[in-house]
Amino acid sequence: MLNESRRTLACLAALLLWTGTGVTAMAAETPIGWQTLKGAAPLVIAHRGASGYRPEHTLASYALAIEFGADFIEPDLVATRDGHLIARHEPLLDETTDVGVHPEFASRKTTRTMDGKAISGFFASDFTLQEIKTLRAVQPNPARSKQYDGQFEIPTFEEILELLTKANAGRNRPIGVYPETKHPGFHLALGLPLEDRLLTILREYHLEGRDAPVFIQSFESANLQYLRGKTTTRQVQLMDEGALEYDATGQQVIGVRIADHGDRRGDKSPTSLADIARYADAIGPWKRQILRDTGASSLLRTRLIEQAHAVGLLVHTYTFRNEPATLAPQYQGDPLQEYRQIFDLGIDGVFSDFPDTALEARRRHRER
């Protein structure tokens, strides 16, 4: 009711400012308010940095996202053989580095079981940090330019926080960091648990605690439950494509399924949004879990955002990209239309490969 009142007041303000030949600039800038959990503007989270423009998870990608003005930068973290946390989307190095052209590492290719599947390739956990530093990042997305291939190192989490510390010097509102622990059950089985090392580093940089500009995220739940017993830092339960069960209408969430892949550090796997709210502050669903593609002429709106808000959970959704092939046909190749729709639904944050586009969409929405 309060949000509807805000919209009504905004419309009345626009009418009162009518000049007879058009609406004044003041009316055009009248904000309509946000439908988010706390009434704040939705966060723009730079997904793997500004990864639409630079190879993902490089200092260059994070620096560009910071330059654009993103609210958070998002590093995915995996462990090296000697226990260092580095930024890679997966424990596998094959698609995002030039490891394949290093003959000295040819014998490191192996097959490991990850999340119940046998996978072959070069795993970061079979390399020391010193060896990782001889590799260079490459663009894994065939739709994007490869002009920066081979130019950038693989950064450690500490190097990312050093970059962020320098960028935040003198800022009233610091840019935050949004680390993801990648495949924690896999790393735990290798004797390379990610969580305590992550907390140690965050504390070294004074980035730990409820009020810190930090969200810790994971697709698994046991490690987040473990972390909740050690820190008050905000946490996000990510949700893969099969994580939610809907009722017969396809709109109401009636169950949650989160896999933990052998990690037994949690009390129990959650089966509802209320269960998640006991250890997390937000959920991170795929955008098609909010606006479902049923093959019809329009996307089916679910009640996920409202249901999450009802139990006190923020909703940060992934992943927004500019390439027309990544957009539903309803948006006619215009990413701004996609942001506009998701902002109207009250989303609390968006993960974007193109944070500048997300920020522009937010600015336009604020001025509607």
C-alpha span between 278 and 44 (Å, rounded):
25
pLDDT tens, position by position, 301-351: 999 999 999 999 999 999 999 999 999 999 999 999 999 999 999 999 999
Residue 292, helix vs strand vs coil: strand
- Is the pLDDT reported for residue 33 higher than 90? no
- Is the pLDDT reported for residue 18 higher than 50? no
Give mean pLDDT, residues 107-136.
97
Q: How many CA atoms lie within 13 A of 101 on its CB side?
A: 11
C-alpha span between 193 and 327 (Å, rounded):
36
C-alpha span between 113 and 119 (Å, rounded):
6
Question: Quick check: is 365 catalytic?
Answer: no
At 7 the pLDDT is 41
219: its two tokens: 């697709």
pLDDT tens, position by position, 266-291: 999 999 999 999 999 999 999 999 99
**Helix crossing, 157-168 with 195-204: angle to 10°?**
30
Chain-centroid distance, C-alpha 157: 16
C-alpha span between 81 and 57 (Å, rounded):
19
Region of 63 on the Ramachandran plot (φ > 0 left; ψ -120 to 50 alpha; else beta): alpha
Give mean pLDDT, residues 260-271.
95
pLDDT tens, position by position, 178-217: 999 999 999 999 999 999 999 999 999 999 999 999 999 9
At 295 the pLDDT is 87
- Is the pLDDT reported for residue 9 higher than 90? no
- Is the pLDDT reported for residue 123 higher than 60? yes
C-alpha span between 99 and 134 (Å, rounded):
9
At 32 the pLDDT is 57
Question: Quick check: is 102 catalytic?
Answer: no
129: its two tokens: 């940090």
Instruction: Find all residues with CB under 8 Å of 281, minimum gap 6, and list them.
Output: 215, 234, 235, 236, 313, 314
β-bridge partners, 267 = none
At 297 the pLDDT is 86
C-alpha span between 235 and 358 (Å, rounded):
23
Q: State the DSSP string of 74-114.
A: E-EEEE-TTS-EEE-SSSB-TTTBSGGG-GGGGGG-EEEEE
CATH of domain 37-87+155-366: 3.20.20.190
Residue 303, helix vs strand vs coil: coil
The DSSP 8-state label assigned to residue 277 in this structure reads T
Closest of 283, 364, 288 to residue 326, by C-alpha: 288
C-alpha span between 10 and 340 (Å, rounded):
18
- Is the pLDDT reported for residue 1 higher than 90? no
- Is the pLDDT reported for residue 4 higher than 90? no
The whole model's pTM is what? 0.91
Residue 310, helix vs strand vs coil: helix
Q: Where are the domains of the chain?
A: 1-33, 37-87+155-366
Please state the φ and ψ torsions of residue 74, each to the nearest 5 degrees: -120, 100
Residue 308, helix vs strand vs coil: helix
Give mean pLDDT, residues 215-236.
98
pLDDT tens, position by position, 58-114: 999 999 999 999 999 999 999 999 999 999 999 999 999 999 999 999 999 999 999
Max Cα separation, the chain? Answer: 76
Please identify which of the residues 47, 57, 309, 316 carries the catalytic annotation.
47
C-alpha span between 228 and 215 (Å, rounded):
12
Give mean pLDDT, residues 121-147.
98
Please identify which of the residues 57, 84, 89, 102 carries the catalytic annotation.
89
297: its two tokens: 């002429």
At 31 the pLDDT is 45
At 93 the pLDDT is 98
- Using CA atoms in the order 98, 99, 100, 105, what is the torsion angle rounded to 10 degrees? 150
At 19 the pLDDT is 30
